[in-house]
């Protein structure tokens, strides 16, 4: 029978001793392997239990018993109290780095119904893009890129409702090249209405959603840009015959249009028998 050497024996004793201490610590610190509703023992509580009021909890301090304090009357949300967007813009201009700051402040206040909701003081949709949005070539190009990303899948790059998804959608998206979307006397022809559909989607009379809204992807500025681009798409089909187009450009466009419109029957319906 082998006997352990004295050194080995003391090493075993030390390991056992250490294991015992670990177990004791685990037991004391509440790590006993069973579940308990009691708060754990905290050997080093640090800042575990800092005094605080939880939202929605009752307060004995305030007379109305509410822990969450209502905003002071007349308070408006904004990031920096000394930030005056008008003065800031005058000083730095709407430069790349300053522009988003100025815009985000304006976006927080949302004090312009025409710009943020596309409606006038009576709540009616605006006939035209509000004056706060300057319609420039850049805006239209921005609208083109947003439209091609977010709308063309259903509405088609030409706005004729023949996008890849649109052709397979339960309801064929309408073509924008109809009077009902051009004539601002009709509700659906107003810029404010198209802005609203772009951001909030479309619902039928029963409240069922017919088109998803894109407010998550299109800021108000972008939605107005899309409206401007839809107007450009429409104009591409209507102004070619008018004197708004310089004569040489007009001849060129007419020649191209005629070349694009063969007498041959239109290509077969890619709708797969859908509506």
Instruction: Write b or e for each residue in 93-126: b if 16 or more Cβ atoms lie within 10 A of its Cβ, otherwise e.
Output: eeeeeeeebbeebbeeeeeeebbbbbbeeeeebb
Q: Which is nearer to ligand HEC, 55 or 123 (CB)?
A: 123
Helices (H), the chain: 6-28, 85-92, 98-109, 113-117, 137-146, 152-155, 179-182, 191-200, 220-238, 247-260
CB of 270 to ligand HEC, least distance (A): 16
CB of 197 to ligand HEC, least distance (A): 4
Kindly state the number of chain residues that form the binding site for ligand HEC, as judged by CB under 6 A. Answer: 21
Q: Which is nearer to ligand HEC, 202 or 240 (CB)?
A: 202
Q: Does position 226 bind ligand HEC by CB under 6 A?
A: yes
Q: What are phi and psi for residue 211, nearest 5 degrees?
A: -145, 135
Q: Which is nearer to ligand HEC, 39 or 273 (CB)?
A: 273
CB of 168 to ligand HEC, least distance (A): 10
Q: Which is nearer to ligand HEC, 133 or 151 (CB)?
A: 151
**Residue from 135, 140, 202, 253 in contact with ligand HEC (CB under 6 A):** 202
CB of 214 to ligand HEC, least distance (A): 4
Q: Does position 149 bind ligand HEC by CB under 6 A?
A: no
Residue pair 73/41 in contact by the 8 Å Cβ criterion: no
Q: Does position 171 bind ligand HEC by CB under 6 A?
A: yes
Q: How far apart are CA 98 and CA 24, in angstroms?
A: 61
150 CB contacts (<8 Å, ≥6 apart)?
A: 214, 217, 218, 226
Which range of residues in 7-15, 68-76, 147-155, 241-249 is near ligand HEC by CB under 6 A? 147-155
Using DSSP, state whether 203 is helix, strand or coil.
strand
Q: Convert residues 178-197 into a mask of x (bound to ligand HEC by CB under 6 A) and - (unbound).
A: ----------x-----x--x
**Residue from 98, 211, 215, 245 in contact with ligand HEC (CB under 6 A):** 211
Residue with tokens 């708060």: 39
Q: Does position 151 bind ligand HEC by CB under 6 A?
A: yes
Q: How far apart are CA 102 and CA 89, in angstroms?
A: 7
Which range of residues in 64-72, 107-115, 163-171, 260-268 is near ligand HEC by CB under 6 A? 163-171
Instruction: Write b or e for each residue in 193-227: b if 16 or more Cβ atoms lie within 10 A of its Cβ, otherwise e.
Output: bbbbbbbbebeeeeeeeebebbeeebebbbbbbbb
| Residues in a beta bridge with 66 | 58
Residue pair 61/68 in contact by the 8 Å Cβ criterion: no
Which range of residues in 68-76, 110-118, 145-153, 267-275 is near ligand HEC by CB under 6 A? 145-153
Which range of residues in 95-103, 111-119, 130-138, 168-176 is near ligand HEC by CB under 6 A? 168-176
Q: How far apart are CA 238 and CA 109, in angstroms?
A: 39
Q: Give the footprint of ligand HEC on this chain (CB under 6 A).
A: 150-151, 153-155, 165, 169, 171, 173-174, 188, 194, 197-198, 202, 210-212, 214, 218, 226
């Amino acid at each position: 029978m082998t006997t352990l050497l004295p050194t080995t024996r003391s090493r075993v004793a030390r390991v056992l001793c250490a294991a015992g201490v670990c177990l004791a610590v685990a037991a004391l610190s509440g790590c006993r392997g069973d579940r308990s509703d009691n708060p754990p023992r905290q050997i080093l509580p640090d800042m575990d239990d800092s005094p605080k009021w939880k939202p929605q909890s009752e307060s004995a301090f305030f007379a109305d018993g509410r822990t969450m304090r209502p905003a002071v009357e007349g308070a408006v949300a904004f990031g920096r109290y000394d930030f005056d967007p008008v003065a800031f813009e005058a000083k730095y201009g709407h430069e790349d780095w300053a522009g988003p700051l100025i815009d985000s402040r304006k976006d927080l206040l949302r004090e312009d119904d025409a710009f943020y909701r596309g409606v006038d003081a009576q709540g009616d949709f605006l006939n035209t893009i509000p004056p706060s949005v300057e319609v420039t070539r850049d805006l239209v190009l921005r609208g083109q890129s947003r439209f091609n990303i977010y709308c063309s899948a259903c509405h088609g790059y030409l706005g004729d409702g023949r996008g890849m998804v649109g052709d397979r959608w339960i309801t064929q998206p309408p073509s924008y090249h109809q009077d009902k979307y051009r004539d601002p006397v009709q509700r659906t022809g107003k810029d404010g209405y198209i802005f609203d559909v772009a951001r909030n989607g479309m619902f039928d009379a029963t409240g069922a959603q017919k088109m998803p809204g894109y407010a998550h992807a299109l800021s108000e500025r972008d939605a107005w840009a899309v409206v401007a681009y839809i107007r450009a798409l429409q104009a591409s089909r209507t102004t070619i015959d008018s004197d708004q187009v310089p004569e040489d450009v007009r001849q060129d466009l007419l020649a191209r249009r005629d070349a694009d419109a063969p007498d041959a029957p239109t290509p077969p319906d890619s709708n797969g028998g859908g509506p």
